[in-house]
Homo-oligomer: A and B are copies of this chain.
Amino acid sequence: MALSERILMGPGPCNPYPDAVAALTRPMLGHLDPEFLTVLDETNERLRQVWHTSNRLTFPVSATGSAGMEICLVNVIEPNDAVVIGVNGVFGERMVEVASRCGADVVRVDFDWGQPVDPGRLLAAHPNPKLIGVVHAETSTGVRSEIADLGANKGDALLLVDCVTSLGGIPVEIDEWGVDLAYSGTQKCLGVAPGLAPVTVSDRAREFIVERPRSWYLDLNLISKYVDGDGARAYHHTAPISMIFSLHAGLGVILDEGLESAWARHEACGQRLREGLIDLGFELFAAEGHRLPELTTVKVPDGVDEARVRSRLLREYGIEIGGGLGAYAGKVWRIGCMGHTARLRNVELLLAALARLV
C-alpha cells in the first residue's frame, strides 16, 4: 500500500528532518557495541546542549513522550507525597493523573484553558510540596507558561516541567531556570519520528530517587547504570537502536543550524501564521503574549463544519492539522509548525488552502 506524503501541521508528529529519516537505516548495532555506545553518548551530549543543561543524567527514554512524564514522577514520588500541579490543559490533567497513580496527594491548581499558569498561585498552593509540576508549552491550547519564577522560588520542592512541545522550538533553560526534572518527545520541535522521550534529571533530583520504584521498565537506578557514560554498562533493556540513531542525527541538524536559528525559524512561522489567520478573519484562542510559535490555536468560525475542513485539507492538499482536545474538541484547531515542517512555504500553503476551504 502506497502512503500519501503529508505536510504534518498538527500538534505532532511533524515531518522529520531528512537526515533524521536517513539515519533510521544506519547499520544495526548491538546495544553493547562500542560503536553504538559512542553514538548514545554523543546523543546524550547533544541533548544537554539543546536542554541547556550540564545534568549528567540526560538521555532518551525508550518509549514516547508520555513515558517521559511517568519516569519523572514514578522515580521520585512515594505514596502520600504532596505534589502541586498546575493545570491549564490536557497535559496538566495528565500529570495529575500520573502523579495520583504514583500515590501522590495532588494539589491541583486550575487555570483557564488558553491562559498560562500563574507561578504565584502555584507557589502558594502548599507550604512545602515535594514536587511542583507544570507544562511549559500546553499542546492542547498552544500556551506558553513562564518557568523561571517557579525555579527561583520553589524552595525545597523539586520542579518538574513538561517540555514536550517546547524543546527545540522555543528557549528552554533547564539549569538557568532551576528545573530539576524535565521530559520531551522526539516528534515535535526536535524533528524526529515519535518513539523516544528525552529526559534530564538534576543531581539534586537524583538524591530523591526511590530505591525501588513501582515501575521496573522506568527504574532510573537501573537505567542510569546503562546510559551513564562512565564505567561498565549494565544491561537493563535493549535500547531502541535505530530510533537513537535518528535522534542523534536530528539533534545534529538542529545544532548545525544553531539552536537560536531553529528557535527563530519557529518564531517566524508562528508569527506569519497568526497574521495570516487574523487576515482571514479567524480569532486566535491562546491568550495574547503567551502564544507558542510552534503551535497556534484558532477558534473554528461559527457555522463551519470543522471535521470536514480538516478532512478536505488532508485529502485535497495533503495537509494535516489537529482538532481540539477535551472541552475544546470541535471548537478549535491546533496548527503546528514544528521541526522540519517549520518552513514559511508550508505556512503560506496552509493559509492559501484555508482561504479556499473556509
The answer, among B8, B10, B30, for a CB contact under 8 Å with A8, is B30
Which residue of chain B lies nearest to A68 when distances are taken between CB atoms in the complex?
B217
Which residues 66-124 in A have Cβ within 8 Å of B in the complex?
66-67, 69-70, 74, 94, 97-98, 101-102
Which residue of chain B lies nearest to A22 when distances are taken between CB atoms in the complex?
B25
Q: Which B residues are in CB contact (< 8 Å) with A6?
A: 27-30, 33
- Once A33-B314, A35-B3, A214-B214 are accepted as A-B contacts, the answer to whether A238 and B187 lie under 8 Å apart by CB is yes
Nearest CB on B from A239, distance (A): 7
- Once A25-B22, A214-B101 are accepted as A-B contacts, the answer to whether A62 and B238 lie under 8 Å apart by CB is no
Give me 20 A-to-B residue pairs in the complex whose CB atoms sit less than 8 angstroms apart, sorted by A's number.
A3-B29, A3-B39, A8-B28, A10-B30, A15-B28, A21-B28, A24-B24, A63-B217, A64-B239, A66-B217, A74-B215, A94-B216, A97-B216, A98-B216, A101-B215, A185-B238, A194-B240, A194-B242, A195-B242, A240-B243
A168 located at the interface, meaning its Cβ lies under 8 Å from any Cβ of chain B in the complex: no
Q: Which of A39, A187, A213, A236 has the most CB of B within 10 A?
A: A187
- The answer to whether A242 and B67 touch across the interface, beta carbons within 8 angstroms, is no
Q: Which of A12, A62, A314 has the most CB of B within 10 A?
A: A62
Measured between alpha carbons, how far is A97 from B238 in the docked complex, in Å? 18
Q: A13-B241, A62-B63, A195-B241 are in contact. List 7 more A-B contacts (CB 8 A).
A: A5-B27, A6-B27, A6-B29, A8-B29, A24-B24, A64-B240, A74-B215
- The answer to whether B1 and A13 touch across the interface, beta carbons within 8 angstroms, is no
- The answer to whether B63 and A63 touch across the interface, beta carbons within 8 angstroms, is yes
Nearest CB on B from A64, distance (A): 5
Which residue of chain B lies nearest to A238 when distances are taken between CB atoms in the complex?
B194
Q: Which B residues are in CB contact (< 8 Å) with A193?
A: 28, 240-243
Q: Which of A21, A65, A237 has the most CB of B within 10 A?
A: A237
Measured between alpha carbons, how far is A232 from B195 in the docked complex, in Å? 23
A183-209 interface mask toward B, CB cutoff 8 Å, 1 = contact, 0 = none?
A: 001010000011100000000000000
Nearest CB on B from A220, distance (A): 14
Which residue of chain B lies nearest to A34 when distances are taken between CB atoms in the complex?
B314
Q: Which B residues are in CB contact (< 8 Å) with A4?
A: 27, 29, 35
